[in-house]
Structure 1
């Protein structure tokens, strides 16, 4: 009998997992390379948004980063440079990289259904010449994440096609969801008041964007 899962339907072994799925097709294997080639360069240079995944002693982190398209700079076919723009100073991504250099990136391009995945290792640089080269709106980032590329491959369009992520008709009306202030009020059990926070929020975002 083929091994599938335990009595409670939990998959607990690689053998059980692999029994549930077909072998990957040739394209799924050949699309993965160890460097940024010309097609993958085009995708990175067109992307205004990337999600960064890291892990450390404190746990896992998945952090969104965005800037004008091409903000992730390709230094060479095995090196990417990511400016660490102003944020909330939790520095979860950077803390993790100090403890564990492994990093994963997911690039997304509005209107384009394929995504691009990059896995590698990273260090944090404070090189003045490097940080200054990323100056935007008069401000340079404090650090730059230097990624050594190990694996690059595109993800097929199925997830974005199923979600219709770029379909204007699927946009959710902002007023139907909780505001940042309401979320914070609930999380802080009222310590942060929703209305004052929301009233000041747009100006705060604009003032602290860079």
Structure 2
């Protein structure tokens, strides 16, 4: 993939150190680690905060939102088992960092954001400044994007009070949804596989803390 940003040895070294940290924390999928290692996370920060960009921390990006902790991005991505060509719906574009990781894995990404300022910023930063080209949408992610369904994978990057049934209906048979579910203080990561038209298998995993998923089928 050809990028429009300047990538120097300092940033490359910082990304390598971040990948090493994620590997030590248990991320085992080398394709996911390689994707994380390619995305220039400092492009989501003002220059004043570039030194924070490759630390394994979340960071405020405005509009009450954060750029996700790299470990969280890697964790959710690893659960999805992305294959090149997979059609992926991302609920909550946010900064666009997770979007870039999905694109690096070869996914065809449909990403939706409800905050107009974030949507406008990311719609410019990703394709113009960085060379990434997902399909952008502005709207209520809690109801998905039915017009482009079904999807191989759906990833929700905000905490929901429950798994929205409307999203499950937008999965292909054999498709998977990854979503944090709980209250506004903490959520359990949940994977849901659609094994048949009306048959779903759910697994509840580790505890995380996300910003709330706001919308008609959420908070």
TM-score tier (shorter): under 0.3
- Which has the greater radius of gyration? 1
Instruction: Give the TM-score, by structure 1 length.
Output: 0.25
Structure with the greater relative contact order (CA < 8 A, sep ≥ 6): 1 or 2? 1
